[in-house]
Structure 1
Amino acid sequence: MVEKHEDYGMTERNRQEKRCRGRPRVRSDEETRQLILEAANQQFVKAGYASANISVIAQTAGISTKTLYRLFPTKADLFSDVISKTINDYMLASDFEQLAKLPLRESLEKLLIAYGRLTLSHETIIMTRLVLGESERFPEIATAFYVRAIQKTSKTMEDWLQTRIASQEIEVQDAHAATGMLRGMMVMEPQRAVMLGQVEDIADGEIVARAQACAQLFLEGTRAR
């Protein structure tokens, strides 16, 4: 009788262990947010802002629309965070602390390459067209794009300039104005060509070469004498 009782106890423990092993891991809200943002980015790129379907985004992310609205109450919130995620990826590619350790020219080249890859990427071009085409109907997306993309990337570049000015490596009277000039020199012409459909896209080698040329030209005019 005792042996049967022990066998029964072992069987129950085995069942409990199997249930524990088979129980799916609970996904955190942050993990769910990332899945939603990836799905939303795909939907915005494919359908635009007005036609982006929240149900499709939820289905692609593998969640309910109720969960999506709990994490992103409005479509505008979702769009804003999609932009922020893209910019945060750029910020990682242009790690400020790492750039500060590099020689002046190499540091500027890496900063411009990261900025060029972001601004001239296929997805960013589509998002820029989306904002320009739909901002009159949805001014909130223009605000989100300006604040979370344009201003944030500008600040990264301006902070880099301020650091190099403080270390007396370059001489610039107005870092904010210089940032605008540097950004324009790096991307304006190729971005315009892509936006107007004159070229399909900009090859990575072209971005790197342009960054190197822009860095050389900029530093020739601003390097401390």
Structure 2
Amino acid sequence: MAEQRRAPGRPPTHKDGEIRKLLISVAAEEFLASGYEQTRVKTLAEKAGISTRTFYKFIPNKAELFRMVAEDWLQKELQTLERRPQPEDTNKQELARLVLLYTRLLLSPTAKRTAVIIMREMERFPEILENYQTAVERLAHAFDTRIVHLCSKSDIDCPNPTEAAVMLRTMISGLQRQSMMRWQEDMTEQDIIRWADHCTRFFLEGCKGL
């Protein structure tokens, strides 16, 4: 029997969902390394092992790919923030974990480079700035919600949890803005842990008077 030949077209090396995931992963690295403007669709396609024609079958343009990268990042971070605490964790331990996660989210070198790319390209690509701001707002809301929930527990003395949560979050986001405006060196992991611990201790003592 003669061997059946595959019909012409894109070889079935990946499922469609796998190709999108691969493009998102490749693009995330390339955007951080080269910036939005300098990233080329041809380069992304080559690194993903597909043709430019195949790229455009899945992604209409570079701006849409950036949105997909941001959404993928957002969903992963939201899942981390919303993870249920371990049964053996105390409420204060869970508070410390959330503060450290949010601090890493805003102050890590990767987070800083991402924000710089957004600010640099915001005039030419306002839709990217809008997507980023939406992502940050969703993460801030998730963080505040978790903190307010923890403050409702009996072993955390906090008469006004909503206001306290905003103040805690501002301590972290404020340092991010300061770092970007003054072009300070990237924070190390130890710097991030130290700042998160400082914010947590300040919160536990300061929120009693709110």
TM-score between both structures, scaled by the size of structure 1 = 0.76
Q: Structure 2: how far apart are the matches of 1:68 and 1:99?
A: 42
User: How has the CA–CA distance of structure 1 residues 141 and 216 changed in structure 2, closer, same or farther, with 3 Å as cutoff?
Assistant: same
Q: Structure 1: how far apart are the matches of 2:33 and 2:91?
A: 40
Query: Is residue 2:103 matched to residue 1:124?
Result: no
Tell me by how many angstroms 1:205 deviates.
1.4
Q: Structure 2: how far apart are the matches of 1:71 and 1:77?
A: 10
Tell me by how many angstroms 1:27 deviates.
1.9
User: Aligned Cα RMSD in Å?
Assistant: 2.9
Instruction: Find the counterpart in structure 2 of residue 206 from structure 1.
Output: 191
Question: Which structure is larger by alpha-carbon Rg, 1 or 2?
Answer: 1
Query: Is residue 2:146 matched to residue 1:160?
Result: yes
Q: Structure 2: how far apart are the matches of 1:69 and 1:172?
A: 54
How many percent identity over aligned positions?
Answer: 26
Q: Structure 2: how far apart are the matches of 1:68 and 1:195?
A: 36
Tell me by how many angstroms 1:218 deviates.
0.6
- Residues 164 and 170 of structure 1 are in contact (CA less than 8 Å); yes or no, is this contact kept in structure 2? no
- Residues 39 and 57 of structure 1 are in contact (CA less than 8 Å); yes or no, is this contact kept in structure 2? yes
Tell me by how many angstroms 1:93 deviates.
3.7
Aligned counterpart for 1:98 among listed residues 75, 85, 88:
85
Query: Which consecutive residues of structure 1, in runs of 5 or more, have no partner in the other structure?
Result: 1-11, 17-23
SS in 1 for 2:84: helix
Query: Is residue 2:86 matched to residue 1:111?
Result: no
Instruction: Find the counterpart in structure 1 of residue 200 from structure 2.
Output: 215
Q: Structure 2: how far apart are the matches of 1:180 and 1:70?
A: 43
Q: Structure 2: how far apart are the matches of 1:101 and 1:89?
A: 24
Q: Structure 2: how far apart are the matches of 1:47 and 1:206?
A: 26
- Residues 91 and 153 of structure 2 are in contact (CA less than 8 Å); yes or no, is this contact kept in structure 1? no
Aligned length: 202
- Residues 43 and 53 of structure 1 are in contact (CA less than 8 Å); yes or no, is this contact kept in structure 2? no
- Residues 95 and 150 of structure 2 are in contact (CA less than 8 Å); yes or no, is this contact kept in structure 1? no
Aligned AA (2:37): A
Aligned AA (1:126): R
User: How has the CA–CA distance of structure 1 residues 39 and 103 changed in structure 2, closer, same or farther, with 3 Å as cutoff?
Assistant: same
Tell me by how many angstroms 1:95 deviates.
4.3
- Residues 106 and 172 of structure 2 are in contact (CA less than 8 Å); yes or no, is this contact kept in structure 1? no
Q: Using the TM superposition, name which of 188-197 and 49-58 deviates more.
A: 188-197
